[in-house]
Structure 1
């Protein structure tokens, strides 16, 4: 699926028990995998629609967890590339660019929202995010997905997995994030 790969750096704010770090890594991987699934449907919309133009796409919504891994190419799986344990430290991951960018945007926007007291700029950010989601929704509609399937897909494969990362920011395990395009696979 991927033509471009990205590097995601997440600020490490404190040390933690191994169990908490394992939970964070699992939540991050699940969020990445679910975002990958949404990108998979969007990028393959023409093929999906061409194969079954008069019927709904042949997928369950939400995609059962055990099937998500089967949609991800081995070279597209999220990889932990490096960790710096100092103050401040960071975690660096490699993966497909679009899910990496979505993770960065979510973590960074949430981090900034927690710091930001300027309501007007916050409102503008949310307006931009809504416009991006509207465009993605339009692409899925054009591919023949129903409104209900689109809503379910966005909640189950977008909002819920991303929100599972909130507790790690709230507990100050992680902070903001940055990303860049990478030539690595």
Structure 2
């Protein structure tokens, strides 16, 4: 794809080529370990009513959240909390949540039905935007028994990428306006 098209547009293109029941998505800086048990994730999708399942980064749950829309007749916004709802019955260490890391196995058809918003406001930072769009539409869980690594080291070869990846306040302002409009929030 052309430069600066955005990773959500790239996800849509990649997803359009998937014909299997499930697909695995992971960022380019995620790595498998001996504890990356994809069979556990497949089992969750096969044996429950879940649509998207993830693991944890080295056993940490800091990238797992619940999302809640709050407000009244004139005000609406959302809360993002570092927590989960409950354990998945029959799967110890697996919990229901609304927002999980960018390493997940998911139902191809369910995710295609939601898609990834290719708007320029979400072209560089917008992982949680997919989960906002998915809220109330798909069921999500993560397992502490399934781990993957996240490489956060930077070398001199990464500097050109880092200059593109790091966004300024202008970008976040554009993204904020887009979210308010898209989700009809007033916050």
Higher relative contact order (CA 8 A, sep 6+): 1
TM-score (norm 1): 0.26
Greater per-residue strand proportion: 2
Q: Which has the higher helix share?
A: 1
